[in-house]
């Protein structure tokens, strides 16, 4: 039954063989299911529908499917009904995906540019251009195996991990190239430049991952931590320390001076002198950190344990502050206020909020539960308007 007339004809009893219909004993009218419930969209009375994805579903695909169905839904509704999307929480996720793609491409481009400018060697330049994307592909394989989707947590981890991979690629290739220029054979230079002891090279780096990303080991924010730990484990602090300890500041590569304008040579000479001065100060300390390797290994477990305590004490510190462009507030009135008066007060607050240029849309509810607060949810405009939103909040107090 879809109308009041159909309910009026509903037979509820029989008396002396005659049917008694609902319309004979009651007044049947078309109306709302709950007359003490109100909702507004941008100060207009509306029916607000909140669509949420099921656990495990892809939120971007869900939002795209809803938008694809909107034209069909609009055609099936009366012309007097207007359908509008008030808020889309996937906007920041799409922006994160786009930004991450740009950051990944920029990181690879910077690695290629830096290595080519310093080494002037095409084969050495091609290696990181292939190795860095492959290391991320390996991370994607682990994410697929663990059923991780692309979201803000995994994107943040991939962005951070890319920085580590880029650093490792530059350090290791520079180290290997330096040994080759000193007369080492390529294989020996690769083994020596990449770390003479496999245990020394990889285990401290993994323990550093456990210290930097303890959530992957102790279960908190695993979706943000696992992609960061699953990156390529080569490189890291041991290579930096060993590079400083073994480097020769007077070793000037001939190709480094190739094509340098005469005007820039005095600047390079001063820069080289500063590098020599810093090297003389850093070399003793770097040598102590690189030899013996077990001294460094002994510090890593304690560092990881200290990071675990920090995460347990402040678990929310692992996540950066992020604005979704949505702010929610509650309007509280005395318990004796009527529904009509509460709706009127809500409209007054909506007038103030919608005057702010930083507010793009506003949804408000009255009578959601047994108490009398009204829930307000406002979405800010695309441009940053934090100060204006703060002024709006102050004006409604």
Please give the Cα distance from 208 to 154 (Å, whole number).
Answer: 19
CB-based contact 56:289 (threshold 8 Å):
no
357-371: pLDDT as tens digits: 888 888 888 876 655
Please give the Cα distance from 3 to 6 (Å, whole number).
Answer: 6
19-28: pLDDT as tens digits: 999 888 998 8
Please give the Cα distance from 358 to 385 (Å, whole number).
Answer: 5
The pLDDT assigned to 248 comes to 44
CB-based contact 354:362 (threshold 8 Å):
yes
The phi-psi region of residue 265 (left if phi > 0; otherwise alpha if psi is between -120 and 50; otherwise beta) is alpha
At CA 338, angle to CA 332 and CA 340, rounded to 5? 100
Strands 38-41 and 44-45 come out as antiparallel
The pLDDT assigned to 308 comes to 65
Termini Cα distance of the chain: 47
The pLDDT assigned to 245 comes to 40
Residues β-bridged to residue 361: 379
The pLDDT assigned to 249 comes to 43
Please give the Cα distance from 236 to 211 (Å, whole number).
Answer: 13
The pLDDT assigned to 376 comes to 62
The DSSP string of 48-77 is -----PPTTS-HHHHHHHHHHHHHHHHHHS
From the list 326, 323, 329, the residue with the least C-alpha distance to 359 is 326
Task: Give all domains of the chain, ordered by start, each with its CATH number.
Answer: 1-31 (no CATH), 91-315 (1.20.1640), 326-395 (3.30.70)
207-265: pLDDT as tens digits: 545 544 444 444 444 454 555 555 544 434 434 434 434 444 444 444 455 555 666 66
CB-CB neighbours of 372 under 10 Å: 20
User: Model's pTM, two decimal places?
Assistant: 0.52
Q: Which parts of the chain sit beneath pLDDT 70?
A: 151-152, 194-265, 268, 272, 275-276, 278-300, 303-304, 306-324, 368-397
Strands (E), the chain: 11-15, 18-21, 38-41, 44-45, 326-331, 359-366, 374-380
């Amino acid at each position: 039954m879809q109308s009041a007339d159909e309910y009026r004809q509903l037979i509820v009893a029989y008396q002396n063989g005659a049917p008694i219909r609902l319309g004979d004993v009651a007044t049947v009218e078309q109306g709302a299911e709950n007359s003490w419930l109100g909702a507004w969209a941008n100060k207009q009375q509306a029916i607000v529908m909140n669509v949420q994805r099921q656990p495990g579903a892809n939120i971007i695909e869900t939002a795209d499917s809803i938008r694809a169905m909107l034209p069909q839904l609009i055609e099936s509704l009366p012309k007097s009904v207007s359908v509008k999307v008030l808020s889309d929480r996937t906007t920041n996720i799409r922006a994160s995906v786009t930004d991450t793609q740009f950051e990944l491409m920029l990181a690879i481009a910077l690695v290629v540019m830096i290595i080519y400018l310093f080494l002037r060697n095409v084969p050495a330049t091609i290696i990181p251009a292939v190795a860095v994307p492959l290391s991320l592909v390996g991370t994607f394989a682990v994410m697929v195996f663990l059923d991780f989707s692309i979201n803000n947590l995994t994107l943040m981890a991939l962005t951070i991990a890319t920085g580590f991979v880029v650093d490792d690629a530059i350090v290791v290739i520079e180290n290997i190239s330096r040994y080759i220029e000193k007369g080492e054979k390529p294989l020996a230079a690769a083994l020596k430049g990449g770390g003479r002891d496999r245990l020394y090279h990889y285990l401290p780096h993994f323990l550093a991952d456990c210290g930097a990303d303890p959530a992957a080991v102790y279960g908190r924010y695993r979706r943000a931590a696992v992609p960061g730990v699953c990156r390529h484990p080569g490189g890291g602090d041991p290579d930096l320390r060993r590079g400083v300890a073994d480097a020769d500041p007077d070793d000037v590569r001939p190709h480094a001076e190739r094509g340098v304008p005469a005007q820039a040579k005095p600047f390079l000479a001063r820069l080289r002198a500063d590098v020599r001065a810093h090297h003389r100060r850093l070399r003793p300390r770097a040598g102590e950190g690189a030899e013996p390797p077990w001294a460094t290994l002994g510090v890593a477990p304690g560092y990881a344990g200290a990071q675990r305590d920090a995460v347990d004490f402040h678990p929310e510190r692992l996540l950066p502050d992020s604005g979704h462009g949505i702010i929610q507030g509650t309007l509280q009135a005395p318990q004796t206020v009527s529904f009509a008066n509460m709706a009127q007060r809500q409209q007054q607050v909506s007038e103030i909020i919608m005057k702010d240029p930083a507010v793009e849309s506003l949804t408000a509810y009255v009578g959601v539960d047994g108490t009398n607060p009204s829930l307000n949810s406002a979405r800010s405009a695309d441009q940053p308007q934090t100060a204006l939103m703060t002024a709006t909040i102050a004006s409604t107090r």
